[in-house]
Amino acid sequence: MAVCHYHQDRPGIGICMRCRVVICAACSTRVDGVNHCHACLKALGQRPEKPRAGQFPPALAAAFCLALTGLIFFVFAFAVQGSFAP
């Protein structure tokens, strides 16, 4: 039975994807969906997973959506008016 590389009294639950040592639940930290030990986490200089911010600012996306809807409505209204004109 594999034990944690850092805690000889704890059972290992996974392997660090960077240095491949067996780590326990307390030592395991998920970064980008993969396990990392304390040492590698420190080496990476990254914090644990956090919700990724959208590439597009929500306000800009809403404005773009509104503008597009307005444009479609304008074009549609113009096309209907044109087709029914004598």
One residue of 14, 22, 29, 40 binding Zn ion per CB under 5 A: 40
C-beta of residue 5 within 8 angstroms of C-beta of residue 40 = no
Point out which span in 35-43, 46-54, 61-69, 78-86 binds Zn ion (CB under 5 A).
35-43
> Could you tell me the CA-to-CA distances from 85 to 26, 74, 76, 80, 81 in Å, in that order?
74, 16, 14, 8, 6
> Interface with Zn ion includes 22 (CB under 5 A)?
no
One residue of 14, 22, 29, 37 binding Zn ion per CB under 5 A: 37
Point out which span in 37-45, 47-55, 59-67, 72-80 binds Zn ion (CB under 5 A).
37-45
C-beta of residue 31 within 8 angstroms of C-beta of residue 46 = yes
